[in-house]
């Protein structure tokens, strides 16, 4: 399949892209230590796309990123953007490598001084209205694609069959760790939850009219989660930058989030083991 073919996932059409084989060859030549590179149109020598690639890159991330880019636009958010996706695919090279080919947006990556800017971007992301059909996890990936910093390795080792399986797993973890939990996670709905709030995952771009635009770049650890998990993502990372951002983001604190934070720390002792799985839910082995 040519990467210029129309996408079945509603990605932005770009007829100028080279073939998948050409993109893979360019990335393989650069090596897997490089997380991304530009794609140049040889006829014009202009940059026409950016490709992110790696063993932990997949279609679920691409769909979440593209959904977010369109949702920000549809919500009328003018000062926060995400790059539209042109194409996403996988290839075999020392395992499976994922590729996301997206819009190239010029700018400067945020740094540790850009707390206010990153907080503004996070606020815009968590305020987006999820689609009516959204389940927990990445767009189109469902509960099997959940990525969140609550888990020791960010990935739940469980083959959830439904949102309820996820909730039941959380209740099982509370019971295992002797944490008294009287809440109901299912009442909180679903919200876009960025877990990896790192300055390099955001970019600042100055427009010709002087406006400053914030660009969200990485969606590997951004997916739909119950509302308390937003507070967990903001508070669990104890880095000075993350904590300063957390103080500037408006959200509703909850006892449920405090219980989750109490559970997340002790869960580390079990490492990658699957613990407290609900009946009928099997252990998932991640091959990333």
Q: How confident is the chain (288 residues) per 10-residue block, as mean pLDDT?
A: 59 96 96 92 93 96 98 96 97 92 96 97 96 93 94 93 97 97 94 96 94 96 97 94 96 94 95 91 75
Domain check: are 29 and 88 in the same one?
Answer: yes
Q: What is the pLDDT of residue 235?
A: 95
Domain check: are 90 and 122 in the same one?
Answer: no
Domain check: are 69 and 132 in the same one?
Answer: no
Q: Is 206 helix (H, G, I), strand (E, B) or coil?
A: strand
Cα(134)–Cα(217) distance, integer angstroms: 22
Domain check: are 127 and 231 in the same one?
Answer: yes
Domain limits at 58? Answer: 20-105
List residues bridging with 87 in a β-sheet. Answer: 101
Domain check: are 30 and 113 in the same one?
Answer: no
CATH assignment of the domain containing 35: 3.30.200
Cα(68)–Cα(229) distance, integer angstroms: 18
Cα(238)–Cα(232) distance, integer angstroms: 11
Domain check: are 56 and 159 in the same one?
Answer: no
Q: Are residues 213 and 187 in contact, defined by beta-carbon separation less than 8 angstroms?
A: no
Residue 288 lies in a domain: no
Q: Is 73 helix (H, G, I), strand (E, B) or coil?
A: helix
Domain check: are 127 and 233 in the same one?
Answer: yes
Domain check: are 29 and 134 in the same one?
Answer: no
Residue 100 lies in a domain: yes
pTM: 0.94
Extract the tokens encoding 208. 């010709």
Helix spans in the chain (H): 20-30, 59-74, 115-126, 163-176, 228-236, 240-248, 255-264
Domain check: are 124 and 240 in the same one?
Answer: yes
Q: Is 160 helix (H, G, I), strand (E, B) or coil?
A: coil
Domain check: are 156 and 214 in the same one?
Answer: yes
Domain check: are 114 and 218 in the same one?
Answer: yes
Q: What is the pLDDT of residue 43?
A: 87
| Domain edge (last residue) among 105, 137, 158 | 105
Q: What is the pLDDT of residue 273?
A: 86
List residues bridging with 192 in a β-sheet. Answer: 224
3-state SS string for 27-63: HHHHCCCCCEEEEEECCCCEEEEEEEEECCCCHHHHH
């Amino acid at each position: 399949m040519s990467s210029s073919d129309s996408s079945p996932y509603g990605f932005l059409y770009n007829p100028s892209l080279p073939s998948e084989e050409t993109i893979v060859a360019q990335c393989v030549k650069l090596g897997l230590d490089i997380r991304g590179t530009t794609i140049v149109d040889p006829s014009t020598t202009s940059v026409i796309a950016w490709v992110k690639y790696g063993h932990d890159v997949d279609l679920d991330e691409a769909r979440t990123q593209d959904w977010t880019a369109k949702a920000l636009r549809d919500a009328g958010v003018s000062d926060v953007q995400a790059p539209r996706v042109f194409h996403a695919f996988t290839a075999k090279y020392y395992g499976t490598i994922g590729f996301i080919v997206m819009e190239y947006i010029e700018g400067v990556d945020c740094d540790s001084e850009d707390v206010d800017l990153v907080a503004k971007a996070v606020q815009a992301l968590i305020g987006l209205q999820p689609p009516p059909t959204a389940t927990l996890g990445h767009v189109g990936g469902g509960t099997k694609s959940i990525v969140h910093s609550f888990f020791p390795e960010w990935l739940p080792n469980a083959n959830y069959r439904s949102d309820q399986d996820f909730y039941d797993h959380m209740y099982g973890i509370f019971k295992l760790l002797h944490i008294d939990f009287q809440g109901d996670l299912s009442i909180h709905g679903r919200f876009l939850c960025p877990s990896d709030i790192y300055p390099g995952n955001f970019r600042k771009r100055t427009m010709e009219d002087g406006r400053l635009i914030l660009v969200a770049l990485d969606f590997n650890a951004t997916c739909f989660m119950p509302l308390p998990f937003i507070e967990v993502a903001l508070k669990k990372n104890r880095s000075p930058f993350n904590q300063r951002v957390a103080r500037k983001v408006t959200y509703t604190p909850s006892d449920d989030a405090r219980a989750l934070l109490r559970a997340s720390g002790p869960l580390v002792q079990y490492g990658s083991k699957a613990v407290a799985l609900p009946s009928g839910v099997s252990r998932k082995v991640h091959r990333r």
